[in-house]
Amino acid sequence: MISEELQELLLQYCEPEDDLLKHIDRETNLKVLLPRMLSGHYQGRVLSMLSKMNNPKRILEIGTFTGYATLCLAEGLTADGIIYTLDINVELQEMVRRNFAKSQLNHKIQYLIGDAQQSIRSLKNEVFDLVFIDADKKNNGTYFDLIFDQVKPGGIIIVDNVLWSGKILNKAQDKDTKNISSFNDQIAADNRVEKLILPVRDGLFVIRKK
């Protein structure tokens, strides 16, 4: 959504990646299909900043991929905080666990493999300060509805890819674009939350529960 030149400028004025994040980025691009799904440097710093501003005790991430965003979000956790990160891709599990083990934040990460909806239900006794939804886009609304009552007042829900490579702006008529547009409209009409879309990378919907 933004030019390469602007992207390079933005990177000059944000915090650098640490060595582990650089490694995950490089490894993902070399070894994993669809590496563009990785949050990357700039979006990672945005997620880190939002997490540090929220200072959450409990984070839920739906969609781990290779763990880059997980580590960025975990940077803002309280001393006794935990991030639960959910994914269904067993093929990436060994890589992800190996990289988490290299992090000083590893003891704060609970990595759950399986169907996300079932995993969310298994966490029904948790109350979340911050939720990041970055999984199968057709289920954005399902995940939002499932988790909403477990988000504390003042808590933040962040949803990725809500501009969908500009297809939302161009009103494309494919199924994925329609699903994302419908979810965006659902949030816009929801009076229980305050909301705005940040045009960061592929669009981050930042939603604050009243």
Report residue 93's pLDDT band, with 50, 70 and 90 as the boundaries: very high
Look-up of token digits 């067993």: 90
Region 59-73: mean pLDDT is 98
Region 113-131: mean pLDDT is 97
Q: Which two tokens stand for residue 85?
A: 């990160």
The pLDDT of residue 176 is 85
% of the chain beyond a pLDDT of 70: 100
Alpha helices by DSSP H, 13-149: 19-31, 40-54, 68-74, 93-101, 116-122, 140-147
Report residue 174: phi and psi, to 5°.
-70, 165
The pLDDT of residue 5 is 92
Average pLDDT, the chain: 95
The pLDDT of residue 172 is 79
pLDDT tens profile 18-65:
999 999 999 999 999 999 999 999 999 999 999 999 999 999 999 999
Query: Structural domains in the chain?
Result: 4-209 (3.40.50.150)
Whether residue 35 contacts residue 28, with contact meaning beta carbons closer than 8 Å, is answered with yes
The pLDDT of residue 203 is 93
Q: In residues, how long is the chain?
A: 210
The pLDDT of residue 157 is 98
How is residue 130 annotated by DSSP? Answer: E
pLDDT at residue 161 greater than cutoff 80: yes
End-to-end CA distance of the chain: 30
pLDDT at residue 171 greater than cutoff 90: no
